[in-house]
Structure 1
Amino acid sequence: MFLIHIHVAVYNIVGTGRTPIPFNQVSPICTIASGFYTTFSLYWFLIVYALCPPVLMLIFGSLTLSNIHKHRRQIRPNLSEINNRKREKISRQMLIMLIVQCTFITICTIPLALQRIYGSNTSSQQKSITQKTLDQLFLTIAVSLGLVGHSLTFYIFTLSGAMFRDEVKKLIMKIPGCRRIFTATGTQVKTNRIPPVPLERRNV
């Protein structure tokens, strides 16, 4: 993995420049070498940072789930139909969680890669203050999405997988005092449920 990024140390140049407003101070900065490497770095960032991770996650995750499912059938071929349905449901939930995570990461990382390509292709153009402001807004949104894509995995799993929610609930209930809260909440929900209408009343 280190060899993939070794060109960054070779073709990046340490220089001086001004930090963004409001600091506006001269400080050392790293700049990319001009020429062919500028174009190469942009598309390398798009492929390695935005596209490869979710694609590899989806491929190897699917192969892992398929391998686990195959070995289970070889080890215990005579499981009951209920157990088979339960295992298929778990595998389906894990696959859904994997697909949702890969899709979310792709959506969050591609805008930053596209923004870098756009910024490099339009860097020599004369832009108005409005266009510069819009470009800065796009950059801020793209960077924010890139950070969000790698920090919300827990919430993605919680929203997309019932199995993950159940495991989180079991983990929380092991904390002293939390079991009592969950039990009281569940009892209150059952108490507040509207009782079903008897069949005799429905026919009236």
Structure 2
Amino acid sequence: MLAGYAVDLTNTIDWLCKFRIYVLMVSRTIALWLIALASIDRWLLSSANQQYRKMSSLKNAYSSMLIVIIFSMMLYAQLIYCYQANLTQTPLKCYGKTEICRMTTDFSYAVITVVIPIIVMIIFGLLTISNVKNSRRRIFTKTVTQISTNGHNQLQRWRKTDYYLLLMLLVQTVLYCFFTLPQAVQKIYSTMTESHIKSSLQNAIENLAFNILLLLTYLSSGIPFYIYTLCGGKIFRQTLIDVFKRISQRRT
């Protein structure tokens, strides 16, 4: 399905097959883990503990990014050996050549690339929202006696912002689960039932499901932008508009 519009050389050339799958899996792992690390960084910045806030620095961010990149490259190093072109009886011609290779890759993808980053996003996203609420509650308690009307309006704005933060977290988590988890589960199922006798109809259905779920995983890379602009409230949309205005002013 992915290569239906032209000849896909990765299906027939071995080194291209290995190179594409390695770059794909490594980049996808890096992308999801960087988003997970960003949620941890937001939690550190919103913490009332000064020591935690100090941990949120560019130096630590660069170090974390480097660790994630190196870890992702090492995690899928076996793909250079495992994947092979011109295979038959597999969902794709460029696929893992042995059952052990497929199980290793499938479980690594399901657990390390998909499940753990999503859990990290949920946990630290909720902790960030809790920190924001606690900090605003402290500020509001100190100022409400001085400015009653403005304090009430400020509280309403904070509640609205909290709603958008929670909505963004919920939508982001649900969409990531929807776009990535089904393919991980399907890959594990396909590998575990490989030795079972299946009819041609069942094989066709499983191959179709594999290709559809594979396409969904590519959508997960572009959803953060739409989540922030559509579910993030006025502040994110206004920031986007300001960026476009600055670009247009530079051109003129």
CA radius of gyration, larger in: 1
- Which whole-Å CA distance do the structure 1 matches of 2:118 and 2:187 have between them? 20
The within-5 A match list for 1:39-118 is 39=103, 41-75=105-139, 77-79=142-144, 80-118=151-189
Equivalent pairs: percent with the same residue?
25
When the two chains are superposed, the root-mean-square deviation of aligned CA atoms in Å is: 3.3
Separation of aligned partners in 1, 2:110 and 2:229: 28
Deviates more, 1:111-120 or 1:6-15: 6-15
Q: Distance in 2 between matches of 1:140 and 1:151?
A: 19
- Partner secondary structure for residue 81 of structure 2: strand
1:151 is displaced (CA, Å) by 1.5
Deviation beyond 6 Å, 4+ runs, structure 1: none
**Cα pair distance change 1:15/1:55, threshold 3 Å:** closer
Q: Greater strand percent: which structure?
A: 1
CA contact (8 A) 1:32 1:38 kept: yes
Residue 117 of structure 1: SS of its match in structure 2? helix
How big is each residue's C-alpha offset from its partner over 1:162-200, in whole Å with a ceiling of 9 and x where there is no partner?
Answer: 2333332343344437xxxxxxxxxxxxxxxxxxxxxxx
Confirm or deny: 8 A CA contact 1:11 1:32 kept in the other structure.
Answer: no
Equivalents in 1 of 2:223, 2:71: separation in Å? Answer: 29
Q: For residues 98 and 152 of structure 1, what CA distance do their matches in structure 2 show?
A: 12
Task: Count the aligned residue pairs.
Answer: 170
Say which structure, 1 or 2, has more relative contact order (CA 8 Å, 6+ apart).
2
> Mind listing any 5+ residue stretches in structure 1 that lack a counterpart?
178-204
Q: Give ranges in structure 2 of 5+ residues lacking alignment.
A: 1-67, 145-150
The alignment's TM-score, normalised by the length of structure 1, stands at 0.66
Report how far residue 16 of structure 1 moved. Answer: 4.8
Q: Distance in 2 between matches of 1:53 and 1:31?
A: 28
**Secondary structure, counterpart of 2:77 in structure 1:** helix
Q: TM-score, normalised by structure 2?
A: 0.55
